[in-house]
Amino acid sequence: SQTIHQWPATLVQPVGSPLSLECTVEGTSNPNLYWYRQAAGRGLQLLFYSVGIGQISSEVPQNLSASRPQDRQFILSSKKLLLSDSGFYLCAWSPGGGADQYFGPGTRLTVT
């Protein structure tokens, strides 16, 4: 069966510091991968998606970037965090071409 991992689970970072969140998927190959952010009391906002190694598409311009160095690894980064980057970051995967998306446990980021 497939599993998706994210770490860290929680993170408190000062404004201006860098960020690196990691997501890995097991038990499948060539998945589509997604990064979402959920601000308090709001819906999920798609940040990035990837259909393959090195292929990243951004949904909204922002202070973040994503990379996919391996087939089942997806990384979310920032060079300098802003207060507005606080939120619940969720990684998701779907089978290539599939509609159902499955979420990892998330990383709760607080920027102070």
Which amino acid would we find at residue 12?
V
In angstroms, the first-to-last Cα distance of the chain is 38
Upper half-sphere CA count for residue 102 (Cβ side, 13 Å): 16
Count of residues near other proteins by CB under 8 A? 23
CB 64 within 8 A of CB 77: yes
Residue numbers 27-86 binding other proteins by CB under 8 A: 32, 41-44, 46, 49, 51, 57
Dist CA 31 CA 96 (whole Å): 5
Identify which range of 11-19, 68-76, 78-86, 103-111 contacts other proteins by CB under 8 A: 103-111
Residue ranges in 81-100 that form contacts with other proteins under rule CB under 8 A: 88, 90, 94, 97-100
Chain residues that interact with other proteins, rule: CB under 8 A = 32, 41-44, 46, 49, 51, 57, 88, 90, 94, 97-106, 108
